[in-house]
Amino acid sequence: MLNWDDPIAAVKGRAPDTTDAPRTPAPEGRPQPAAPEAAREPAQPAPTADTAAPAPAEQTAGAPATRETDTLQPGAIPTPADLKPVNPDDKRVINGLTDINQLAPFKYPWAWEYFLNANKNHWTPLDINMNQDVHDYHHKLTVEERHVYENVLSYLTTSDILAMRNIGLAVMEKMSAPELQIYQARQVYEESLHTWTYQHCIESIGLDQGEIYNRYRVVPEINHKIQIANRRLDSVLRPDIDLRDPDELANFVMAYLFFAAVFEGTWFYNGFSPIFALQRRGLMKGTAEQLQYIMRDEVLHASFGLRVVKQIIKEENITLDPKAVREMWDEAEAAEAAYARFLLPDPILGYSAEQHIEQFRFIANRRARKLDLEEPFPGAENALPWLDEQANLRKEKNFFETRVTEYQTGGALSWD
């Protein structure tokens, strides 16, 4: 029988642990993993996947100050004179001036729309049949295709954990409007769901988990991408950060920009495409369907992140350092190119490293435009024209032909 005080005890056949001792494992210092992906705007009129770029019109707040709720002495009983209703104009993305525990009136209604839209993409990896993938992997994929499949999964497993930690530990706590945090809370859940999805694929195919998960530790081309992301994350995980300090603020904005535009906006967005190339040939279709669900989430993650960055830039009157932005793109391109050439030393049928790299550049330009930044790779071409279709799910009927319909509550999945 399940023991609610210690559910694991029943599984392990041991007595329930009745001590209050913390069970948190010893810290291992700074975490290691990392990774990214892409975006579009949900909302008012349902935005067009990845390509939409609506511009909100929130006003710019004044200089940061102390929150009204911070002025009471600890333990003091408030009097009516101490209290007043929340004015949404006092909300800010960071360094907000008002009570963060009150959702409405909204200052950022678009953030709430993201949350509502995110909840329309609901699934678990157990919903998708993986039987054919097991056969495909063992009997149909070439050695080169198995190399691609395994290493894409290796990269994604680590990357999604890093994405979860970034939003949940480094970003969310710095937001000072609840409508932003609520979407990000959903995002944290989604990143963990993505990790479950990869784990389910790995288990279903029967891959060596230890070997797959450790690959980023031993393959330089995977490790490098993870380290780049870890560096950004570690720089904003410190507990002593004061975002009223202009240097700290600039660093935080660059880190958030990296995760939205590079990690999720390009690396993730384009990271699924080698598997989609197999899917287009009728191979590994279960895995690909899982990744399509993930890509839907990631499109929103990147879009939301860019929207928040844009709002911070506006509210805090920030000018991004063009040199720092250029270096971000150059580093991201070099790392992605090395990764792609490791994945695909020679092309597989329907997919090559050069296509992957060119698509990175093409999508990077799109992300930059969304922030009104200069295109980092002028002239880059849409090397994988079918990729947006995978993200935008214009083939909704085909995509859902095997899905239970109750997930599309009220026919609400209007992604175009």
Q: Which residues bind Fe ion (CB under 5 A)?
A: 160, 163, 191, 194, 264, 298, 301
CA–CA separation, 70 vs 382, rounded Å?
51
CB atoms within 10 A of CB 340: 23
Tell me the torsion sign for CA atoms 252, 254, 256, 258.
negative
Per the DSSP assignment, residues forming a β-bridge with 348 are 351
Q: Which is nearer to Fe ion, 268 or 329 (CB)?
A: 268
State the nearest-atom distance from the C-beta of 37 to Fe ion, in Å: 5
Tell me whether residue 98 or residue 166 sits nearer to Fe ion (CB atom).
166
CB of 269 to Fe ion, least distance (A): 10
Residue ranges of alpha helices (H) inside 119-172 are 131-135, 143-165
Site of tokens 């980092």: 376
Which residue's CB is nearer to Fe ion, number 136 or number 160? Answer: 160
Q: Supply the angle between the helices 209-218 and 143-165 in degrees, to the nearest 10.
A: 80
Q: In degrees rounded to 5, what are phi and psi of residue 348?
A: -100, 170
CA dihedral (171, 292, 203, 214) in degrees, to 10, reads -50
Name the residue nearer to Fe ion (CB basis): 174 or 301: 301
CA angle in degrees (0–180, nearest 5) for 32-36-41 = 145
Question: Which H or E run includes 321?
Answer: none
Q: How far is the CB of 298 from Fe ion (least distance, A)?
A: 5
Name the minimum Å distance from CB 301 to Fe ion.
Answer: 4
Q: Is the Cβ of residue 69 or residue 192 nearer to Fe ion in the bound state?
A: 192
The DSSP output letter for 376 is S
Pick the closer one to Fe ion by CB: 113 or 191: 191
Alpha-carbon distance of 112 to 133, in angstroms, equals 37
CB 143 to Fe ion: min, Å: 29
Query: What minimum distance in Å lies between the beta carbon of 329 and Fe ion?
Result: 20
C-beta closer to Fe ion: residue 107 or 165: 165
CA angle centred on 170, ends 299 and 291, rounded to 5°: 25
Tell me how far, at minimum, the Cβ of 342 lies from Fe ion, in Å: 22
Rounded Cα distance, 347 and 177, in Å: 47
Nearer to Fe ion, 149 or 267 (CB): 267
From first CA to last CA, the distance across the chain in angstroms is 48
The CB-of-32 to Fe ion minimum distance in angstroms stands at: 17
Among candidates 264, 371, 377, 378, which has minimal Cα distance to 329?
A: 377
